[in-house]
Structure 1
Amino acid sequence: MLLLLDNGSRRPAATRNLRRLAHHLSEQLGTEVQPVSALHASRIPPEELDGMPAQTLEPFLRAQVAAGEDSFGIVPLFFGPSRAISAFVPEVAGRVAAEVGPLEVRVADALCPLPAGEPLLVEILADQVRRVLPAHGSPAVDVLLVDHGSPLPAVTAVRHWLAEGLAAALADTPDTKIEVGEAVMERREGAEYAFNGRLLAEALAELGAAASGEQPRQVVLAMEFISPGRHAGPGGDIADIVAEAEAAHPGLQVRISELIGEHPRFVDLLAARAAGLEERGPIELPQG
């Protein structure tokens, strides 16, 4: 049984997007793909999801194992080696195996496994940025690649890799000088998390301070997010951060790219990860 796994959100739009991606992946692979969240989504009232409750990993596995299913392949919607992949999935599967019955779980590569990376993600990001560049051109545009933020340096390293690729992909933009930087939507406090880099609010404040009425500062946010939810998409935290920055700096003009999961080629990447499951062995489940 094949699962498409995201982190989960309490926003219905995130589950709707997960279901949309699973549907298109099912069509491309010719086999059913189950949309499942690690956590959170089960709190969404079913009436906000067309009467279909969201599925979360542990109860989903319990029900399937109880019904006789014992082999699962997981395509994770995570850019890097998140603890959801390395710790949460094995812990949940281990509990289910101990309490319900034996099972075998294979987990595909993250979306951008380092050091090889994923060139298709760079192409998608560059395409999304080009779609929102100023319509009449601009001599200079600042592009900020924005992710959620992670306590793991290995996950932040993915953003660095993608930013380097994005800078190269946008270097030949006609008549416009593009500077690619990075920002994080939020991060934990403390010097030990400084590797995350600048907060988005800080980065926009710096760019806004350099703007002038005669020459607005054009900024595009390249969104390293898959689905709309509490942070990305309409009414999310990032939209609020942008609105506050533009209000504080009238010369600042910010455009926000579409999300990676909204690009039509993203399903091609998911299909490639699903195909790679055949070469991967089952994950080790904790004992006891």
Structure 2
Amino acid sequence: MKKPICLLVDNGTLRPEPILMLRSMAKKLELETSFEVISMGLLHSNKVNQELLNGIAGQTIDTFLRSDRGQNITDLLILPFFLGPSRGINDWLVDKLTQWTKEKEGREFKILNCLYEEGDDRLSKALAWEIKEIQEQNSLHCPSIAMVDHGTPIIAVNMVREMVGKDLKKIINKSTQKFSTCSMERREGQEYDFNEPLLEAILSQWAKIGIKDIIISLFFLLAGRHAGENGDIENICKFVKQSHPNVRIFITKPLGGNKIIYELLKERLECAFNKSSK
């Protein structure tokens, strides 16, 4: 049975490092699953200077669907590189692909689940893995843990963070002092209060009561402008340390490079093929 082309899709970025990392993951998936896997962003990734991308231009859903390849294929399998049910996948991408199918008879697509699935604690285990690495590298005894995501206008996305955080707290409970989930930022308005607390508030609150060691557990997949070097989260930490110079703040690596994430993606692809071939 011929397998459809698989698009490994993230949100998109203006930084080269996340694009190169996603390409590397797509190549590995291609070698180990026999799918053809092409990485791209929903938006933005085509704007990065291709000289920073080993001479190969970044792609977005739009640039791919408009390309000769996108115009000539009829069957697409979408593998979302997203933690939870983003509107970008469930609304924007569905609209784009539906329009693509209407332009030529015989076209079809399928979108696989995002990385989180209820009852599966592997995202929590990946976070715990990254936390443990920071603890061992810095000989930290019972640090406090702030698990942070971007913040969202969608309560279902927030609930993913909260459920993963609940499992994470159980896993690391005996080796930590305090634990909290939090958001990097939020929208104004009471309807978005579910994002509270904010990372800056948690760091300041803990520093004021004398906590010395804090690990920020990044519930992010890639090191873009938020979770990357000199990004928003690093800048929040620098701001807090101006008022509390004695607090030590450590930041885990984004989850995208953790082998558990790769295993989840590979499993999604293999299950999709097994179901379609029955």
TM-score calculated relative to the size of structure 1: 0.88
1:136 aligns with 2:142: no
SS, match of residue 178 in structure 2: strand
Note if contact 2:123-2:260 (Cα within 8 Å) is conserved in structure 1. Answer: no
Q: For this pair of structures, how many residues does the alignment match?
A: 270
The equivalent residue for 1:194 is: 193
1:258 aligns with 2:253: yes
Q: Single out whichever of 88-97 and 70-79 deviates more from structure 2.
A: 88-97
Alpha-carbon displacement from aligned partner over 1:102-129 (angstroms, at most 9, x marks no partner):
421111111103x33x321111100100
Runs of 4+ in 1 over 6 A off after TM superposition: none
1:76 aligns with 2:80: yes
The equivalent residue for 2:214 is: 219
Give, as a single letter, the amino acid of the residue that structure 2 aligns with 1:8.
Answer: G
Instruction: In structure 2, list runs of 5 or more residues that go unmatched.
Output: none
C-alpha displacement at 1:169, in angstroms?
0.9
Provide the C-alpha distance between the structure 2 equivalents of 1:136 and 1:81, rounded to a whole number of angstroms: 36
Change (3 A) 1:82 1:280: farther
Note if contact 1:141-1:178 (Cα within 8 Å) is conserved in structure 2. Answer: yes
C-alpha displacement at 1:279, in angstroms?
7.1
Provide the C-alpha distance between the structure 2 equivalents of 1:9 and 1:70, rounded to a whole number of angstroms: 27
Note if contact 1:106-1:277 (Cα within 8 Å) is conserved in structure 2. Answer: no
| Match 1:269 to one of 241, 264, 269 | 264
Provide the C-alpha distance between the structure 2 equivalents of 1:92 and 1:122, rounded to a whole number of angstroms: 32
Provide the C-alpha distance between the structure 2 equivalents of 1:97 and 1:8, rounded to a whole number of angstroms: 23
Correspondences of 1:56-67 after superposition (within 5 Å): 56-63=60-67, 64-67=69-72
Correspondences of 1:1-288 after superposition (within 5 Å): 1-63=5-67, 64-67=69-72, 69-99=73-103, 102-113=106-117, 115-116=118-119, 118-133=120-135, 135-138=138-141, 140-173=142-175, 177-211=176-210, 217-278=212-273
Note if contact 1:108-1:280 (Cα within 8 Å) is conserved in structure 2. Answer: no
SS, match of residue 258 in structure 1: coil
Aligned identity (percent) is 29
Give, as a single letter, the amino acid of the residue that structure 2 aligns with 1:124.
Answer: A
Alpha-carbon displacement from aligned partner over 1:198-222 (angstroms, at most 9, x marks no partner):
11111111112112xxxx5211011
Provide the C-alpha distance between the structure 1 equivalents of 2:140 and 2:57, rounded to a whole number of angstroms: 46
Higher RCO (CA < 8 A, seq sep 6+) = 1
Provide the C-alpha distance between the structure 2 equivalents of 1:136 and 1:40, rounded to a whole number of angstroms: 40
C-alpha displacement at 1:15, in angstroms?
0.7
Note if contact 1:4-1:33 (Cα within 8 Å) is conserved in structure 2. Answer: yes
Give, as a single letter, the amino acid of the residue that structure 2 aligns with 1:201.
Answer: E
